[in-house]
Chain A
Amino acid sequence: MELFLKIAAAVVMGMMVFYAWRAYRQWQAHGPKAQKGDWQAVVLPLALVAGFVALLVAMVR
């Protein structure tokens, strides 16, 4: 049963990879390009998320 579920999960995730690939191509072709300062505006909150997760790990150890 478990092997069957693993194979089914792998197949469904394979389908997700295919859909993600199509979405990636569409966004690369038609999506807006980053303006000046856009990536910095993304990296900062994501760095805060990473730091917050590290804090949570420290709390449970």
Chain B
Amino acid sequence: MANQNYSIVHGTERELSTNKVLKNTYMLLSATLVFSALMAGLSIMLAVPPWMYMASVIVAMVLGIFVLPRTARSSSGVGVLFLITGLLGFGLGAILTLYLKLPHGPQVIGTAFAGTGLIFLGLSGYALTTKRDFSFMGGFLFAGIMVVFLVAIANIFLSMPALSLAVSGAIILLMSGFILFDTSRIINGGETNYIMATYGLYLSIFNIFISLLQILGIMSDD
């Protein structure tokens, strides 16, 4: 009887802890997305040149690899995360400026924005409501990321539209998988750091948006 009570209490504590990580993650994700959007707006107003996108992504990736993991367990990790998402938003503005010059550019941007939101909400809702643990996908997803990055490196210098389309399509599917994977890890206690959890989800959303923008931009009549 005492053991049963301990199991019930312990299980409840774990649930509360998981819910706290989930709540903090989604709150921080909302804040970083809003901040990113504001930085994108600032970038559009300043009409920054297109190369700013690549420069911002490079700096953000370096921060994400070397700085964020070291600061994720302290409050400074939140600042680093806002710096990364602010940089990515600022770089995104440079791309959006190009799209806004196209005749149907605003429509493409709006469609990509709505599509990204629906994909994220749908997949998150699915991961939250299903009872399955999607962490078995880890090896598959990281293998996919390696392949995509290698092809993307080649395409930086080859600049082939068909290859860009294929890479963007693959990224959308991979990032969708990562949304299921990351959300499932939070729910099942595999990820307890809400800063790293937010970073993972933010990158998935950002990459889906950029890839969707690229696909819709190439496939539209413009």
Given the interface pairs A5-B54, A10-B156, the reply to whether A60 lies near B136 with Cβ below 8 Å is no
Q: Chain B: interface residue count, which band? A: 35 or more
In the complex formed, the residue of B with least CB distance to A37 is: B132
Q: Does B10 contact A (CB under 8 A)?
A: no
Interface window among B13-21, B37-45, B170-178: B170-178
Query: CB distance A1 to B180 under 8 Å?
Result: no
Interface string of A1-34 (1 = CB under 8 A from B): 1100110111011111101110110011001111
Q: Which residues of B contact A15 (CB under 8 A)?
A: 61, 65
Are A46 and B139 in contact, CB atoms less than 8 angstroms apart? no
* CB-CB nearest in chain B for A16: B149
Q: A57 to B215, Cβ gap below 8 A?
A: yes
Q: B23 → chain A, closest Cβ, in Å?
A: 24
Within 8 A of A (CB), among B163-210: 169, 172-173, 176-177, 180
A5 to B137, CA, bound (A): 33
A9, B169: Cα distance in complex, Å:
20
Enumerate chain A interface residues (CB-CB to B < 8 A).
1-2, 5-6, 8-10, 12-17, 19-21, 23-24, 27-28, 31-35, 37-38, 41-42, 45-46, 48-50, 52-53, 56-57, 59-61
| Subset of 27 A-B contacts with CB under 8 Å | A5-B58, A9-B58, A13-B61, A14-B149, A14-B153, A16-B149, A17-B149, A17-B153, A21-B142, A23-B138, A27-B138, A31-B135, A31-B136, A31-B139, A32-B135, A42-B177, A49-B123, A49-B172, A52-B119, A56-B111, A56-B112, A57-B219, A60-B104, A60-B107, A60-B108, A60-B216, A61-B221
